[in-house]
Amino acid sequence: MQHIDDMEDDVDFRPEVNDKKIYIPMNVLDAAKKRIGLLFDHFETICVSVSGGKDSQVTFELAYAEAQKRGRELHVFFLDQEAEYQASIDVVREEINRSGVIAHWFQVPLRMTNATSYEEEFLFAWEEGKQWIREKESNSIHCTESAPDRFYDFMTWFEGEMAGACFLVGLRSEESLNRFGAVTRNPAIEGMNWTTKGNKGTVRAYPIYDWTFEDIWTFLGREKIKYNRIYDYLWAKEVSINEFRVSFLLHEKSFQSMTNLQEFEPETYQKIIDRISGAHTAALYAKEQSVYHAGKLPKAYKTWKAYRDFLVEEMPEHRQATFKNRFAGQANTETVYRQQVKQLLINDWENNVPVINQPEKEDPRKKWMEIL
């Protein structure tokens, strides 16, 4: 598959078979348009999952253009986690308010993990009786019956409510090998190796899964699309492109965003630190190696195992067993102990940042020293 700039005649648009990449003479933009066109041919209901981020925005724009060309309506799903960048909300609001869009903007009670605190493990998003970070939208859905209150469980539940629909997801396999395998290994539709099965007959499709970071920004720039302004701030701060996240601000993979939030969006920052414990501490120390990371072993400990054992005993009692049981099945190496320390520092009792459980690699220099 070629980049947007490499324009040639198209042939086959199914570039992956059995986890092997097969490059074809078609640029990724034309391939994505062709995939989306096929989905509109196959499904009566198309729903795009959006977040305010760049990948979902590109997916939305491509799907919206196809819907408009066909005179079709486009469903848009957004599960609002309350502790979001205001800039992300601005992007979602613009998308959802377009003509021809059927909005499913949920602002309902959710339990979101809070990686910044042992005392307050969850942000209960949209909890009644609390001062919310921002007011609810007038056109959003404020309550649901029997819906679960965890993020991924809720998404599965919503798929069930849209039985038979096709959900377009802005996921790119460039971001990890696991994502590539997850997208291409078990296609929901024969010949469409970029689809997977969802709940109750739904299909999840990933039309831009083979796009690169550069492809995303080439498209947004050429089409003059007003993207999430947080990306400009992150770029100016020289944040690694691997850390270009604009999602929920307090979970295990994004809480470091708090260090720049006061500068980027001071009003959002103030409301978040007033809303939940730990957020202010994260804003001050999220990038410090000794506070939330396992970058450097504290001087008081000789091994990562000793430090890990100390942290386990300092955990709230109801969480100690969770970590002890998990760690019991993992390798007894300093490399693994160090990863376990990181989980403990961010209170990752749900295992959202899993330990790579591998035995210690033998240092080849040690073997040669023994021989010599």
Say whether pLDDT at 21 is over 70: no
Half-sphere exposure of 305 (CA within 13 A, CB side): 6
Instruction: Name the token pair of 367.
Output: 């073997």
Instruction: Name the token pair of 27.
Output: 């640029």
Cross-sheet strand order for the sheet of 203-205: 101-106, 74-79, 46-49, 166-168, 203-205, 195-197
Q: Where in the chain is the domain with CATH 3.40.50.620?
A: 16-222
pLDDT digit string (tens) for 199-246?
999 999 999 999 999 999 999 999 999 999 999 999 999 988 888 889
Q: What φ, ψ does residue 134 adopt, rounded to 5°?
A: -150, 165
Half-sphere exposure of 191 (CA within 13 A, CB side): 5
Strands (E), the chain: 16-17, 20-21, 46-49, 74-79, 101-106, 110-113, 122-125, 166-168, 195-197, 203-205
The correct CATH number of 16-222 out of 1.10.10.10, 3.30.110.40, 3.40.50.620, 3.40.50.10310 is: 3.40.50.620
Residue with the larger pLDDT of the pair 65 and 18:
65
How far is Cα of residue 63 from the mean position of the Cα atoms in its chain? 20
Dist CA 146 CA 130 (whole Å): 22
Tracing tokens 């959802």 back to the chain, one arrives at: 96
Q: What is the pLDDT of residue 10?
A: 38
Encoded amino acid at 352, one letter:
N
Instruction: Name residues whose C-beta falls within 8 Å of residue 192's C-beta, 6 or more positions apart in sequence.
Output: 14, 35, 38, 205
Q: What is the pLDDT of residue 73?
A: 98
pLDDT digit string (tens) for 268-304?
999 999 999 888 888 887 777 667 778 889 999 999 9
